[in-house]
Amino acid sequence: SGHAFNTAVDEMPISWDHVELRLDAYCTTRADCESLGIGIGDFVAFDPLPEFTESGHISARHLDDKAGVAALLAALKSIVDSGTEPLIDCHPLFTITEETGTGAAGVLPWDVSEFVGIDIAPVAPGQHSSEHAVSVAMQDSGGPYDYHLSRHLLRLGVDNELPVRRDLFRYYYSDAHSAVTSGHDIRTALLAFGCDATHGYERTHIDSLAALSKLLGAYMLSPPVFASDAKPAQSSLERFSHQIEHDAQMESDTRVPPVDSLIGQNREES
């Protein structure tokens, strides 16, 4: 309160040491809290306070990742209503432990070859995401996403005339990261809706969610990046992608002079 601390409120740090939980109850001691049924380890849930404006903006807490869930459900409904059958099996997954790091680690079917995560794209200085576009994440703190799958999504966005942006996310990782680190040998990519004030009172726009939903629908109806992934895996390595020969890898158009010639030249110059 500025009325109690004057200008000191302008110098107060922002940290967990300065977070206060105010209870609307008579409570001055630990015993008072316990008598109310409040104890160590209890969850504190924020009211999402959703607001939908005529301009198409959507503000609320927990848009990450409830808005992403809504976009996926809308894409699935569109496919079902159209009667179109995907070219290969598609497994929509909903996880609740992405924030704690496990995410999709233990729920993927064994025969999945491609994994596209859905998350939030921070709109801020230094980022390329927008509240009016869907973002294809090229990399996050877990490392780069699959080159071929990411560009497949970018092409689908262009082909369907959707507002698509590339971006890098330096300070979070998604369900795709947990899937890979748990041992799944799969290609991964990430789609995200643009959002301001992530992990706060968040705001996005219907444009971004619509673009995300349409791109998800286009992806689920598209063939796999590699046609061989549409077939069940065999015990043989016959279909495994052939790598170029070792000698060919070492070939280069740039010819490096022999080491002896360089050493001799240095001696003559000295």
Q: Which two tokens stand for residue 27?
A: 């409570």
Residue 225 pLDDT: 93
Residue 238 pLDDT: 65
* Residues classed as catalytic: 98
Q: Is the distance from CB of 191 to CB of 153 less than 8 angstroms? A: yes
Can you give the residue ranges of every domain in the chain?
Answer: 2-35, 51-229
pLDDT tens digits for 84-103?
999 999 999 998 888 887 88
pLDDT tens digits for 185-218?
899 999 999 999 999 999 999 999 999 999 999 9
- What is the SS3 assignment for 58-127? EEECCHHHHHHHHHHHHHHHHHHHHCCCCCCCCCCCCCCCCCCCCCCCCCCCCCCCEEEEEEEEECCCCC
Residue 249 pLDDT: 57
CA dist., res. 68 & res. 74, Å (int):
10
Radius of gyration of the chain (CA): 26
Domain 51-229 has CATH 3.30.530.20: no
Residue 173 pLDDT: 87
What is the average pLDDT across 228-238?
69
Residue 209 DSSP code: H
Residue 225 DSSP code: S
